[in-house]
């Protein structure tokens, strides 16, 4: 019966372990190089949207600091429908390719034309609610409706 100590001294076993480690290292390197080539189209679209927003002079959600006037553009990724017992408000998440900003209109139950997939420009003061970036009662402009092609 071999002991642990004798296995560690076996030169063939040590050589096999070294080869296995090298193969694992090469596999990791290959996987890392391929990750950049096989990215979801949604991720690529988001990166492109963030790049274009910066070029057009908009603030990016990931860069927003609290209590600062901002102007962001993106699309509505989700809506919150509060229970009827809650105070009236209309809340949407706007994704700009770099992150999400939650827009909340107090005293509104809906905004005509604004729903999932709608492209918007929001202007107002950014704040924080927990770890989330929010804008209360921002000015908005609808720049595209769901199903419409975005201008290149």
Same domain, 80 and 128: yes
pLDDT for the residue numbered 136: 94
Residue 83 lies in a domain: yes
* Count: domains in the chain: 2
Same domain, 63 and 9: no
pLDDT-derived band of residue 49, with 50, 70 and 90 as boundaries?
Answer: confident
Same domain, 29 and 69: no
User: What percent of the chain is predicted at pLDDT more than 70?
Assistant: 77
- Which structural domain, as residue segments, surrounds residue 29? 4-35
Task: Examine the pLDDT at 1 and tell me if it is beyond 70.
Answer: no
Distance, in Å, from the CA atom of 42 to the CA atom of 128, rounded to the nearest integer, reads 27
pTM here is 0.66
């Amino acid at each position: 019966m071999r002991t642990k100590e004798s296995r560690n001294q076996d030169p063939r076993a040590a050589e096999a372990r070294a080869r296995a480690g090298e193969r694992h290292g090469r596999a990791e390197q290959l996987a890392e190089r391929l990750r950049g080539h096989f990215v979801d189209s949604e991720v690529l679209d988001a990166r492109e949207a963030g790049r274009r927003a910066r070029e057009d002079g908009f603030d990016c959600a990931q860069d927003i600091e609290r209590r600062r006037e901002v102007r962001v553009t993106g699309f509505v990724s989700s809506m919150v429908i509060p229970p009827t017992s809650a105070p009236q408000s209309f809340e949407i998440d706007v994704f700009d390719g770099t992150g999400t900003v939650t827009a909340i209109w107090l005293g509104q139950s809906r905004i005509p034309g604004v729903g999932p997939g709608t492209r918007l420009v929001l202007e107002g003061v950014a704040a924080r609610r927990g770890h989330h970036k929010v804008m209360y009662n921002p000015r908005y402009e609808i720049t595209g409706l769901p199903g419409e092609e975005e201008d290149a």
